[in-house]
Amino acid sequence: MDLVAENLTRSFGRRRVVGPLSFRVAPGRVLGVAGPNGSGKTTLVRTLAGLIRPTTGGVFLEDGDGRRSPRDAADAIGWVAPDLSLYGELTARENLQFFAKLHGRPAAPAWADEAIAGVGLDPARIAATPLHALSTGQRQRIKLVYATLHHPAVLFLDEPSSNLDDAGRAVVARVVAEQRTRGVAVVASNDAGDLALADERVTL
Amino acid sequence: MTERPARPGVFGAAAALFRKDLLSEWRTRVSTNALLLFAFAVLVLVGYAVGPASLSPEDRPTVHSVLLWIVLFFSAMTGLARAFVKEEDAGTAAALRLAAPPPAVLLGKLLSNLALLFVVTLFVVPVFLAMMSFELKSPALFLLLLLFGNLGLASACTFTAAIVAKASAKGTMFAVLAVPLLLPPLVGAVMGTRVAATETELSAGLDFVRLLVAYDGVVTTAAFLLFDAVWRE
């Protein structure tokens, strides 16, 4: 499934924050979005993910069956961002089981524990802990599981390495590598390590 | 390329959301405590101010009916707005937008609010009936009014909560939008409850039950038709 942006712009009032931008990202490719603070990286990612409507132009997910807007293909999208939160009063395991159910995945506790171990966390310590009691870095890793548990065709990673240590950054690199096998990834960041994961780059 | 799992239907996703909301509420008890504390405070005030003996027998059915529904109405206004406000304030709404179809979100939240309202009703009604010596001649009619009245309250409050969730003055907006929307079923419920207190025949108050059923149908249908635009914009 290709990610296509056509003459995409996004404005707030009279202030244009993004665009006009046009690009196509094919499956197996990773697009980097770079730019200083306030340049519109997060707005672009949210617009591409269908969380904000473009002001002009369009965003499409395109395959052999035609093209759909991200809003009509929300099940094909994964998203991680600093302003994304999961449920703090629920445990890591309960959060993952809840979102797995919404995505139609088998949501046994053992699966959730395996997913938690997959991002380098110890399920025996983490799985039954309420999310609000975890560190920011641990929560960031749980968010990576949330974003990928349904094998999205397009994965958006906004500042994916924020609050992560070296082991966490390696997890991000692995997540991006895995995403190449199933579709497109978009990485928006100021971090040179994050942007090095990309094949092509849009600078705002 | 990895096969993506098929999403569950609306009812499956709504059930998952309902269970999640119950678990969250059980852990935090924010809405339950707000509703029950408010209901308790109003019951005590009504008990002291009005009491069972200070009204003439012919005034009791009307005044008691009004007071009972006032307690339920304002309790609903206190707690049910949090359904969507909590998701927006906590930053979880976007995760939910991507993971669940809009009708499932509305249905799940409606079920959660309905469950909350029935918990409050189970607390308020027996206490009120006992405290005010409020005698019902047609308990079946009263139960039908409670069932469909609560459904109307929950349905209108849930949809209004979705509208105001992104507003800056949520409390004011919620009251401004919800009060006019809730007046018709409240009037029907109050008048029906008065009939339940004075008439033994169920049929004497069925028109009020029909009014509530029609209101519930219209509001719930309108909510499902409009929710997609409200939730995703």
Q: Write out pLDDT tens, residues B178-190.
A: 888 889 999 999 9
Distance from CA of B16 to the nearest CA of A (A): 7
- Measure CA B233 to chain center: 25
Q: Looking at the complex, does the CB of residue B27 fall below 8 Å from at least one CB of chain A? A: yes
Average predicted confidence (pLDDT) for chain A = 92
Chain B residues inside the 8 Å CB shell of A78: 98
Chain A residues inside the 8 Å CB shell of B99: 74, 99, 102-103
Check whether B54 has a pLDDT greater than 80: no
Contact B2 A182 (CB under 8 A): yes
Q: Looking at the complex, does the CB of residue B168 fall below 8 Å from at least one CB of chain A? A: no
Q: Looking at the complex, does the CB of residue B29 fall below 8 Å from at least one CB of chain A? A: no
Query: What span, in angstroms and rounded, lies between the C-alpha atoms of A128 and A132?
Result: 12
**pLDDT above 90 coverage of chain B, percent:** 45
Residue pLDDT, tens place only, A107-142:
788 889 999 999 999 999 999 999 999 999 999 999
Residue pLDDT, tens place only, B81-109:
788 888 988 889 999 999 999 999 999 99
With bands split at pLDDT 50, 70 and 90, how would you rate the model's confidence at B4?
Answer: low
Query: What span, in angstroms and rounded, lies between the C-alpha atoms of A195 and B1?
Result: 24
Chain B residues inside the 8 Å CB shell of A182: 1-2
pLDDT, position B2: 54
Please state the rounded mean pLDDT for residues B24-36.
87
Query: What span, in angstroms and rounded, lies between the C-alpha atoms of A179 and A176?
Result: 5
Contact B4 A151 (CB under 8 A): yes
Chain B residues inside the 8 Å CB shell of A83: 91, 94
**pLDDT above 70 coverage of chain B, percent:** 97
Please state the rounded mean pLDDT for residues B28-35.
85
pLDDT, position B100: 92
Please state the rounded mean pLDDT for residues A77-102.
94
pLDDT, position A189: 94
Phi, psi of A156 (to 5 degrees): -105, 125
Query: What span, in angstroms and rounded, lies between the C-alpha atoms of A175 and A48?
Result: 19
Q: Looking at the complex, does the CB of residue B33 fall below 8 Å from at least one CB of chain A? A: no
Please state the rounded mean pLDDT for residues A33-60.
92
Q: Looking at the complex, does the CB of residue B7 fall below 8 Å from at least one CB of chain A? A: yes
Given the structure tokens 């979880």, which residue do they identify?
B92
Query: What span, in angstroms and rounded, lies between the C-alpha atoms of A89 and A25?
Result: 38
Check whether B11 has a pLDDT greater than 80: yes
pLDDT, position B232: 81
**A28, A87, A128, B113, B175 from A90: Cα distances, Å:** 34, 6, 9, 19, 30
pLDDT, position B3: 61
Query: What span, in angstroms and rounded, lies between the C-alpha atoms of B182 and B209?
Result: 15
Contact A75 B4 (CB under 8 A): yes
Contact B24 A87 (CB under 8 A): yes
Check whether B1 has a pLDDT greater than 60: no
| CA neighbor of A52 nearest in space, from A83, A10, A92 | A10
Query: What span, in angstroms and rounded, lies between the C-alpha atoms of A79 and A44?
Result: 13
Tokens of A180: 């190449």
Check whether B25 has a pLDDT greater than 70: yes
